[in-house]
Amino acid sequence: MRGILLTGALFLQYYVSAAYIELLKEDTLNMVEQLVEFGKDEKDTSVWDELAEMTDLYGNRMTASVQYSRSAEWVMKNVKKYTGMTAWTEDVNVDYWKRNEESVHLYVPTRENQMVNLPMLGLGQSVGTGPEGIEANVIPVSSFDELQTLGNKTIAGNIVLYNADFVSYGENGQYRFNGAFNAEKYGAVGALVQSITGYSLMTPHTGTMNPAGIPAAAITVEDSKLITRMYNRHMKAKQNPDIENAELFVAPRVKLVMNAQNYVNHTQQPNIIIDIKGSEKPDEIVILSGHFDSWDVGVGAMDDGGGAFCSYGALKLISRLPRKPKRTIRVIMWNNEESLSRGADGYFAAHKNELDKHIFAMESDIGNFEPWGIELMSKNATLLNLYTVFGNQYLPTIGGGNVTLVDEPPNVDIDPLCAYGIPCGGFVTLDKYTFKNPSTPAGFEGYFRFHHTEADRMEVLDPHQLRRNAAAMAAWAFMIADQ
Ligand SMILES: [Zn+2]
């Protein structure tokens, strides 16, 4: 029974495959096969090596920082090594959020010096506390519902700690984005957020937040749990002063100091754009992209040096082919993904009149580990079928050939292009440690161990995985541009 069904299914699959793959020319597929071969060349570690050189020299690339400008200049110089590429920069206005000195001290009278210095990172766009800082008790909550239940009576004058355990970036991200704004409504004087990660080695994770009038910072999972336990013991002791050690169970109280400053429209800084012009329809464009800006911690190797340099690496592989694609393949290294998306908005506005000539837009910004495939946003069923068959047939040896359909723009920078109706794809990889499928939250757990931390360094990335990412992205881009 099983055998018969399987044969029938295989036959049907072959029939459908043949029909779709016939939409592609043999010469296109020959080029794709060469790109896949490049992906197997174990000696080629150039994507990793070049990203390491740039990040070792200049460090992280926070929007509006001097390192961003220097790193961009490094890329513009590096491009000159390759033939057949046209590179330029397009400036956008950017704000500068500068962290400056910051700290959180937790009062624990039983410890030496009666306090503990907590590793922390202020959230991007947060207001500062002033140099004096603020001192207040901490009220832990696990959800916005709990915050509302406690209300003004409990919250006013205190600092709220959001201590929800990691479920997914989407689920937990709300506390980082809106935690301060919501806490302020009940009179809180500050907000602390348990870092968004399922695995912590005392690593605070920063990230952007929506505007609020009170300061907000991320603390580690470990310290979030410590504060929560202190609070629970204190509440118990308050209800029952006779319990053992009741006098030691003080309310958690912190001193938060953040000298953060925000400079609106501080300067102009570029998106970096690199083209290999198409041989037949040079005005029609297929985009490969990642964002060039990072947070001001670590070096932004994984987020999103990997995505930007795998896109660039893909273009370098394409430049080695005996011929150019019919349409232009354009690499964009976006500015300002991490906070206000000025890079994405700037490109959309500057290229308003040629959006209809954009055939496809891809971005890689969720880690570059073992290639899995693309999350495709398109209403065109032929595209889905063709891409599925193409991925299955041409990419199994290096990975990156799976296709899943999504309703929402898969990445932030291509969001305006996707929303405009340009078919687009998010390039995704398997979990760094478990190789779990990226269509589930478990597929990103490894990524979120490093995301927006000091630990986002070159060691997160593997040279061979980066090469396979670049080759798979190159194969997709060439196939689409050559149709
Ligand atoms: Zn990113």
Q: Are 431 and 444 in contact (CB under 8 A)?
A: yes
- pLDDT value of residue 18: 66
Identify whether residues 286 and 353 lie together within a single domain. yes
Q: Are 306 and 428 in contact (CB under 8 A)?
A: no
- pLDDT value of residue 16: 59
Whether the pLDDT of residue 9 is over 50: the answer is no
Cα 341 to averaged position of ligand 1 atoms, centre (Å): 11
Residue 106 CA, distance from chain mean position = 31
Q: What is the pTM of this model?
A: 0.94
Residues 6+ apart with CB under 8 A from 6: none
Asked whether residue 214 is domain-assigned, the answer is yes
Would you state the structure tokens that stand for residue 419, as one six-digit string? Answer: 């929303």
Cα 411 to averaged position of ligand 1 atoms, centre (Å): 9
Identify whether residues 440 and 353 lie together within a single domain. yes
Mean pLDDT of 81-89: 96
239-289: per-residue pLDDT in tens? 999 999 999 999 999 999 999 999 999 999 999 999 999 999 999 999 999
Asked whether residue 42 is domain-assigned, the answer is yes
Last residue of a domain, one of 226, 243, 259: 259
Last residue of a domain, one of 218, 243, 259: 259
Minimum mean pLDDT range among 86-90, 167-171, 211-215, 232-236: 167-171
Cα 240 to averaged position of ligand 1 atoms, centre (Å): 48
- pLDDT value of residue 19: 74
98-156: per-residue pLDDT in tens? 999 999 999 999 999 999 999 999 999 999 999 999 999 999 999 999 999 999 999 99
Whether the pLDDT of residue 426 is over 80: the answer is yes
Identify whether residues 111 and 231 lie together within a single domain. yes
Mean pLDDT of 217-227: 98
Identify whether residues 385 and 318 lie together within a single domain. yes
Cα 416 to averaged position of ligand 1 atoms, centre (Å): 16
Q: Which domain holds residue 60?
A: 24-97+264-481
Radius of gyration of the chain (CA): 25
- pLDDT value of residue 3: 37
Would you state the structure tokens that stand for residue 230, as one six-digit string? Answer: 């202190």
Query: From CA 39, how far away is CA 401, in angstroms rounded?
Result: 13
Last residue of a domain, one of 235, 259, 283: 259
- pLDDT value of residue 1: 37
Query: From CA 202, how far away is CA 220, in angstroms rounded?
Result: 5
Asked whether residue 17 is domain-assigned, the answer is no
What percentage of the chain has pLDDT greater than the value 70?
96
Cα 303 to averaged position of ligand 1 atoms, centre (Å): 5
CATH code: domain of residue 174: 3.50.30.30
**CA distances, 452 to each of 60, 218, 219, 299 (Å):** 11, 11, 13, 10
Q: Are 404 and 375 in contact (CB under 8 A)?
A: yes
- pLDDT value of residue 7: 37
Identify whether residues 349 and 459 lie together within a single domain. yes
160-190: per-residue pLDDT in tens? 999 999 999 999 999 999 999 999 999 999 9
Provide the CB-side half-sphere exposure for 295 (13 A, CA): 23
Identify whether residues 359 and 285 lie together within a single domain. yes
Would you state the structure tokens that stand for residue 466, as one six-digit string? Answer: 């980066």
Total of domains in the chain: 2
Identify whether residues 284 and 222 lie together within a single domain. no
281-291 vs 358-363, strand pairing mode: parallel
Catalytic residues: 337
Identify whether residues 222 and 314 lie together within a single domain. no
Strand order in the sheet with 216-219: 115-118, 102-107, 253-258, 134-141, 159-162, 190-194, 216-219, 120-122
